[in-house]
Amino acid sequence: MDTNATTASSTLRIEQFPAETEGDTPSARFQGWFDAVDAGFHESSTEAAHLAEYAKGYAADNRVLWGIYDDEPRPGVWSPDIPVATYATMVNSMNVGGGRLLDAHQITAVTVRPTHRRRGLLRRLITSDLEQAARSGLGIAALTASEATIYGRFGFGAATFTREVEVDVQERFGLRTPPAGTVEMADPASLQQLGPEIFARFHARTPGSVARQYAYAKRISGQWGNDKPEPDKSIRAAVHYDSNGMPQGYVSYRFAGWSKEPYTMKIVDLAAASGESYRELWRYLGSIDLVQRISWSLAPVEDPLPWALQDGRGYAAKSAEDVLWLRILDPVKAFQARHYDGEGRLALEIVDPLGLAAGRFLLEAAGGNARVQPLAADDAVDLSVDVDVLGSLYLGGVTAGTLAAAGRLPGATADAVGKLERIFATTAQPYCITHF
C-alpha cells in the first residue's frame, strides 16, 4: 500500500509499503529505507548481500514500512530515494495477565534525519499510524524506546522494567534447592526451532511478555549475529529438561573475552517455562569452568535468583531500564482484555491529546474480568487520568499510589487513587525480554 501526503513542505511525501523483493533481491525502495535506518541509529551501511535476509525477515513479520521523502532537487545531497524519516510497524501478541493474549500494535525503526528535525515529521507519522491502528480495531500500541523523553507526548507510558545483574559464580555460588531434571549443552543451531517453542510457553505464563519477531530465533541460535545476518560462532547454548525429558528452558550465551576481568559470561537470551527451569539454567551457568561472573541485562525486577542462592550477596543489580512502553488506543477493548487480580468499580475520565482514547468510562472488575461502558460527557467521574499514565498502569508495573506521589494523578482524591490501585493491582510484576 502506498500513501502520499504533504507535510511542512510540498516536496515532502509519505510512502507506506511492505518489505519488498524483486526475486531474491530487495527492492530499491527497501534498500533506501534501510540505508536511512542505519544512518539514524549510527550503524554501518548494510551490505547488499545481507539486505535480502533482512527483507525476508521483515516480510515474515508482516512489517509495514513508512518513509518520508524529500523530492526537492538539491545538488550533492544524499539520494532522494533515501527517506528523511523512517517508521515501521507490526502486530504481535502481548500477555495481559492470566494467560490472556492481546494483539499489540508495535512501533519500531523511528528515525528523522538531522536536517529535517523540528518539522513535525515524527508527529505526522505517529499520529497517522495510531489513527490507522485504532481504526483497524487494535486496542493497544507498544514500543521500546531508545530515548525516554520522546513518546510520552504521544500517549505512551513506560510499563515494564528489567535489571542488569552480575552474579558471582566462584566458590560462593550455590543454590539452596536440589537439582531437578537435567541441563545439557546444546548445538546453538537447535535453538532456531526449539527456542521459539520454549519461548511460547514462557510467553503464555509471563504477564508483559511480547511475542517475538523473525530475527530472534536467528540470533539466539547463532545463525545471525547482532550486526549482520551471518553466523556468530561465539554463541553457546544449553537446554533444561524436566524429569519427563521435556525441554522447559534454554539459555544462549557468549564469553566476554580473556581481556575482560573478572572473566565474564554474558547471557544473550534466557527463557524458562517454569521456576524450576529458571533455577536449573542458573545452576548450569554457575558450573561453567574458568568463569567468575555471569552478566545479564534483562533480569526481572522481582528476580527469584537471589532468594535461591545460598549467598544472596553474590547477586548484584547494576542498573534498571524500562523496556515496554504502552499506549491505549481503545479503552473498552484494552481494559476488557486484561486479567484482573483486584476488584472494584471506578468511573474515570481519560485525557488524550490525540483524542483516540479520550472519554469517560465506567470500569467494573470482578472475578478476573472487567466490564467497561462509555459514559456521557457530563457524567460524574472519580478521577481523570492522562492516557500515558494509563499505559504505565495497564500491566501493573507501577501502582496508582506511586504515580499519585509522583504528581502524575493531579486532583485525585485518596479514595479514588485507592480504587484505581486496587483494580489494577497484580500479583506479579510484568516482565518483557523482547526488544523490537
Q: How far is CA 143 from the centre of its chain?
A: 6
DSSP code of residue 309: B
pLDDT for 145: 93
Q: Residue 36: which H helix or E strand, with range?
A: helix 28-40
Q: Residue 382 contacts by C-beta under 8 Å, 6 or more apart in sequence?
A: 346, 347, 348, 413, 415, 416, 419, 420
- Please indicate, yes or no, if residue 265 is contained in any of the structural domains: yes
- Please indicate, yes or no, if residue 25 is contained in any of the structural domains: yes
| 178, 292, 315, 386 from 309: Cα distances, Å | 12, 16, 8, 42
176 marked as part of a ligand binding site: no
The three grid cell numbers given for residue 61, joined into one nine-digit string: 513479520
84 marked as part of a ligand binding site: no
pLDDT for 10: 67
Q: How many Cα neighbours within 13 Å face the side chain of 197?
A: 9
- Please indicate, yes or no, if residue 151 is contained in any of the structural domains: no
274 marked as part of a ligand binding site: no
13 marked as part of a ligand binding site: no
| 15, 142, 257 from 20: Cα distances, Å | 13, 24, 39
**Are residues 293 and 238 part of one domain?**
yes
**Are residues 211 and 66 part of one domain?**
no
**Are residues 100 and 34 part of one domain?**
yes
Tell me how many domains the chain contains.
Answer: 3
pTM, two decimals, is 0.93
**Are residues 293 and 351 part of one domain?**
no
Beta bridge partners of 95: 101
Q: Residue 43 contacts by C-beta under 8 Å, 6 or more apart in sequence?
A: 37, 227
> Residue 335's domain is classified under what CATH number?
3.30.1050.10
- Please indicate, yes or no, if residue 386 is contained in any of the structural domains: yes
**Are residues 315 and 395 part of one domain?**
no
> Residue 55's domain is classified under what CATH number?
3.40.630.30
Would you give the end-to-end CA distance of the chain in angstroms? 23
**Are residues 188 and 318 part of one domain?**
yes
User: For residue 324, which of 148, 117, 135, 167 has the smallest C-alpha distance?
Assistant: 148
pLDDT for 425: 94
147 marked as part of a ligand binding site: yes
Identify the domain containing residue 243 by its residue range. Answer: 162-322
pLDDT digits (tens, 9 = 90+) for 193-249: 999 999 999 999 999 999 999 999 999 999 999 999 999 999 999 999 999 999 999
- Please indicate, yes or no, if residue 241 is contained in any of the structural domains: yes
**Helix extents (H) in 145-295:** 191-205, 214-220, 275-285
Residues recognised as catalytic: 151, 436
Distance CA 399, CA 408 (A): 11
Beta bridge partners of 171: none
pLDDT for 8: 43
Q: Residue 281 contacts by C-beta under 8 Å, 6 or more apart in sequence?
A: 183, 238, 240, 249, 250, 251, 270, 272
> Which residue ranges in the chain fall short of pLDDT 50?
1-8
360 marked as part of a ligand binding site: no
162 marked as part of a ligand binding site: no
**Are residues 265 and 351 part of one domain?**
no
64 within 8 A of 89, measured Cβ to Cβ: yes
